[in-house]
Amino acid sequence: MIILLRILPFAGALFEAVVFMQQIKHPLEYPWIVLTGVAALPLASAVIAWKRVSFFDTLEKMTPSFVLIGALAFALLLSETFLSYVVITLVAAIATLVSLELLFVLAFDPSRYPVNALSRVNIGYVPLIFWFTASNSTGLLTFVHMPKFWHIAIMVAVASVLFRTTGHPGATREQNAVWTSVGALIGLHVGLLGVFLPVSMQMQGIIATLLLCSVLRARRYMYDPKPSKKQAWIEGFAALTFLVAVLTTAKWL
Task: Write out pLDDT tens, residues 90-106.
Answer: 999 999 999 999 999 99
DSSP secondary-structure letter at 226?
A: P
Burial 1-25 (b: 16+ CB within 10 A, else e): eeeebeebbebbbebbbebbbebbe
- DSSP 8-state assignment for residue 161: H
Reported confidence tier of residue 225, pLDDT bands at 50, 70, 90: confident
The amino acid occupying position 1 is M
Q: What confidence category does residue 61 fall into, taking pLDDT thresholds of 50, 70 and 90?
A: very high
8 A C-beta contact, residue 159 and residue 190: yes
Q: So where are the chain's domains? A: 1-113, 124-253
The share of the chain scoring above pLDDT 90, in percent, equals 72
Q: Is the pLDDT of residue 253 over 80?
A: no
Mean pLDDT of 213-226: 84
What pLDDT score does 73 carry?
97
